[in-house]
Amino acid sequence: MSASAAIATTDKTLDIESIRAQFPILKTKIHGKPLIYFDNAATTQKPRSVIDAVRRYYESENANIHRGVHTLSQEATAAYEEVRKKIARFIHAADEREIIFTRGTTESINLVAASYGSKFKPGDEIILSAVEHHSNIVPWQLLAERTGAKIRVIPMNDRGELAMEEFPRLLSDRTRIVAVAHLSNSLGTINPVRKIIELAHARGAVVLIDGAQWIAHGPLDVVQLDADFYAFSGHKIYGPTGIGVLYGKAALLDAMPPYQGGGDMINSVTFEKTTYAALPHKFEAGTPNIAGGIGLGAAIDFVAGIGLENIAAHETQLLQHASRLLSEIPGVRIIGTAREKAGVISFVVDDPPMAALDVGLRLDAEGIAVRTGHHCCQPVMDRLKIPATARASFAVYNTKEEVDLLASALRRIVSAEVARAPQQPAPATSPFASPDAAANEMIETFEFLEDWEQRYELLTDLGEKLPPMPEALKTEANRVHGCQSIVYLHAAKRPGTADTIDFLAYSNAIIVRGLVALLLRVYSGQSAKAILAFDDRAFIEKLGLDKNTTMFRRTGLDGMVKRIRAEAARLAG
């Protein structure tokens, strides 16, 4: 039975089964189970029509655009420019010249910050909101550093709604731009963007809307909204990666300096003076992602064929169903309970406390793909005093039955955690004569285990036996940053020794505790000299952890090794 057949649908308005049949990847099995893909806020899967459009382009239509008189170039140019028109119609822009192709939302925002922001003066103000993605924070911080402008932030309440009563007080005659997300990727909050635009315009400020998430979840009319700039990415709306859009009002774009220089954005070039092309080409230097554009056109056709209102209605049902089921699981807490929400449900397991990373890995073992971490929204996590959430985000091909499976898997995961017997901690000190001896034993054990599932099990086992770290040592100074979970590491020279170092460490994620335990087995109780002489790169490579890059990077293993070496160097004197 195919995965899509196994997941029957109950939706009345859309024929979800025939929609699912258009997505080849949905037939994939993960760990032998049908894939349930709930990581749509990170990127959506692609329908056959998009995959075919990109393939067809490379197979029979490929040529550079805007510069050849030969037939293929003219046809490629016409196809690419047709997509621009299609996007203008799709978002109801007044003029196709207002559609600038970019690499995605991030580049669209950077373009506005670099170009529109180039005239900002010291003391000018940029207003952001508390729910922003890093993509809508960092470009403005870079601009503020360059120009002396100041950033002000619309706060949010515990539900994840913007404190709109604060907004008028933040606006001033110095406000140059307000940049806010239409739909929050971490909490699912729909922000009151129409109101924000109205109030900002009344104070003479322009508004950029980060539509990375909204674009696939609800209809958009940029003229009715009166947005000055609107940014989105193709890959979040069933299109390819590496292509996105900046919508901007023509009068604003016309007055802005170019963002990047190069071919295709000029009118004439001499060594003395260059004049620039008219919109939209002024902002499109160099050969663009032509295939991506063609694919995005097919994606827009796909979405328009179903209707964003229908997609929104279907996803609202999924969200309501998920909210009900998840809120009924003891120990699970939904993060983000705004009255206006779409597409996204974030949650944490409080009782027993489980790291989002562990929840994500266990759901993955069931074939369920959710995102874990801070979702590029660290200020949101800090505001809510949580390190991370697990997040399920929906697309048109998801079904109520998939949500049922998520809820039942989560229920099982939480129950298993409740039932987990406490383990006797292992001794804190490595029983080995040298880091190499410990490493060799670990490498042999890893080699003996057949697959990553067994290795994860071993790591989990090691993590459960990690000696406890006293609460008093869980300080900011001992915190190892750069990890998806919370990690502390403490080092102390053993009294009466020249440079023997004992380490204690903790992580709230079992899998990371396992990695920490593995490291302490190698390093703890060894001399600083031996620690510094140990070839950690070769060790990690031999374990195969460098190949499992998610494991390596996202867990901060790299950062932990660096910290251990830094502590050894410090204590060695």
Residues that bind ligand PLP (CB under 6 A): 41, 104-106, 133, 135-136, 181, 185, 210, 212-213, 233
- CB count within 10 Å of CB 247 equals 26
- Contact at 8 Å (CB) between 256 and 98? no
Smallest distance, Å, CB 560 to ligand PLP?
27
- Contact at 8 Å (CB) between 205 and 178? yes
Smallest distance, Å, CB 207 to ligand PLP?
15
Pick the closer one to ligand PLP by CB: 395 or 410: 395
Smallest distance, Å, CB 210 to ligand PLP?
5
The 8-class DSSP code of residue 531 comes to: H
Which helix (H) or strand (E) covers residue 413, if one does? helix 400-419
Smallest distance, Å, CB 271 to ligand PLP?
36
Give every strand in the sheet of 389-393, ordered side by side.
Answer: 332-335, 344-349, 389-393, 371-373
CA gap 468, 539 in Å, rounded: 25
CA gap 329, 152 in Å, rounded: 38
Smallest distance, Å, CB 110 to ligand PLP?
9
Pick the closer one to ligand PLP by CB: 129 or 399: 129
Would you list the DSSP string of 74-104? HHHHHHHHHHHHHHHHHTT-S-GGGEEEESS
Strands 389-393 and 344-349: antiparallel
CA gap 267, 286 in Å, rounded: 14
Would you list the DSSP string of 221-289? -HHHHT-SEEEEEGGGGTS-TT-EEEEE-HHHHHHSPPSS-STTSEEEE-SS-EEEPPTTGGG--SS--
Task: Give the active site residue among 376, 458, 571, 572.
Answer: 376
Counts for the chain of helices (H) and strands (E), in that order: 22, 20
Please state, in angstroms and as integers, the Cα–Cα distance from residue 202 to each residue in 174, 175, 182, 198, 226, following that order. Answer: 13, 11, 20, 6, 12
Smallest distance, Å, CB 444 to ligand PLP?
41
Smallest distance, Å, CB 469 to ligand PLP?
34
Place of tokens 């590491």: 489
Strands (E) in 417-469, as ranges, are none
Pick the closer one to ligand PLP by CB: 34 or 244: 244
Which helix (H) or strand (E) covers residue 55, if one does? helix 48-56
Smallest distance, Å, CB 558 to ligand PLP?
23
**Of the candidates 315, 356, 316, the residue with the CA atom closest to the CA atom of residue 332:** 356
- Contact at 8 Å (CB) between 263 and 285? yes
Within 8 A by CB and 6+ apart from 177, the residues are 112, 116, 117, 126, 127, 205, 206, 207, 208
Smallest distance, Å, CB 133 to ligand PLP?
4
CA gap 273, 266 in Å, rounded: 11
Q: Is 376 a catalytic residue?
A: yes
Pick the closer one to ligand PLP by CB: 16 or 319: 319
The distance in angstroms from the start CA to the end CA of the chain is 64
The residues annotated with a catalytic role in the active site are 376
